[in-house]
Amino acid sequence: MTEPRKHTITVLESPDWVDYQLLDSGNGKKLEIFGPHRVIRPEAEAVWQPSLNAKEWGAAAAEFVPSPEENGGHWQSKTLKPGHEWTVGYKKLRFSLSLSNSKHLGIFPEQACQWDWVQDQIKKSGKPMRILNLFGYTGAITMAAAQAGATVTHLDASKKAIQWAKKNQKLSNLNPERFRWIVDDGLKFVEREARRNSCYQGIILDPPKFGRGPKGEVWEFYRGLPALLAACKRILADDAVFILLTAYAVKASSITIGQALEEIIPAGAGELECGEVCLREQVGKRLLPMAVFGRWSKFGGGIE
């Protein structure tokens, strides 16, 4: 019987932000600053009481008010109006933000630690890398990978998300030749790549709980993930460097995510790590859990 791989359980933070802060959280909400704008968004994990008073929370420029329908709701705006766009930066990267039809503004700031990690893997490889980013949204981690020298295939089912990602590529002044933009269903695309023997040295997956492909294909996390990971194994290059899997809004444990990755990574090679991605409040200093993740690195260890 094969000896099980040791799993490292980790809590990750993103302490290097200048243009973003989680000021406070509580009562199912979080109070954040993105560049010049203070906003309030719902956050089910924030089951405690806020540290700041009502006046501080009331100074927010906009608040997303959820509706009974899952992922439904609308923005209640004071000084910040829907459709207004502004730019924030993380290190040398630049991102366009706006009040969209959902609570999302265009980036997931807690994922900055993963942007740094992916860049570190690429730099450690010391050679050209092809990376696939599935469910790529507006492409923050795509930009980070390209900035580190990789060529990135960025896939999303939404044409709007792809256009948003292209805007971020221009804002970050990155070479357009480093990007391939794909509007497609993730599983169908990976299966086609396998038939073409088209392989990647790095694969990034950030699948939603539920979604639809451009032709109405239905994605459900628990039903779809095993087949998607099995397909990804077929396009993982012999000289692969990393795999990163993140999960939001699902009941899966980080151990579940880590053991799912165990099925597809090279036997005995590198290090498998899993855990939670968190934001830390500026005021109360509490950790706010945002997502679970699993990641495999050929090199092992953390960021140098």
* pLDDT per residue of the chain (304 residues) written in tens, 0 to 9: 455 566 678 999 999 999 999 999 999 999 999 999 999 999 999 999 999 999 999 999 999 999 887 778 999 988 998 888 999 999 999 999 999 888 999 999 999 999 999 999 999 999 999 999 999 999 999 999 999 999 999 999 999 999 999 999 999 999 999 999 999 999 999 999 999 999 999 999 999 888 888 888 887 888 989 999 999 999 999 999 999 999 987 788 998 999 999 999 888 788 999 999 999 999 999 999 999 999 999 987 555 5
The Cα–Cα gap between 239 and 102 comes to 39
- Token couple for 45: 């994990």
pLDDT score, position 3 = 56
Q: Are residues 86 and 225 in the same domain?
A: no
Q: Is the dihedral of CA 209, 81, 287, 66 positive or negative?
A: negative
296 with 30: CB under 8 angstroms? no
Q: Are residues 136 and 280 in the same domain?
A: yes
Q: Are residues 73 and 118 in the same domain?
A: no
Q: Are residues 66 and 198 in the same domain?
A: no
pLDDT score, position 1 = 40
166 with 145: CB under 8 angstroms? no
Residue 103: closest CA among 135, 138, 74: 74
Residue positions counted in the chain = 304
Report H helices in the chain: 54-58, 112-125, 140-147, 159-171, 186-195, 221-234, 254-262
The Cα–Cα gap between 258 and 224 comes to 16
Give the domain extent around 244: 7-14+109-297
pLDDT score, position 302 = 54
Is residue 103 a part of any domain in this protein?
Answer: no
pLDDT score, position 103 = 93
Query: What is the pTM (predicted TM-score) of this model?
Result: 0.93
What is the SS3 assignment for 35-70?
A: CCEEEEEECCCCCCCCCCCHHHHHCCCEEEEECCCC
- Residue 297, classed as helix, strand or coil, is strand
Main-chain phi, psi angles of 248, to 5 degrees: -110, 150
pLDDT score, position 59 = 96
Q: Are residues 150 and 290 in the same domain?
A: yes
258 with 272: CB under 8 angstroms? yes
Q: Are residues 70 and 191 in the same domain?
A: no
Q: Are residues 164 and 290 in the same domain?
A: yes
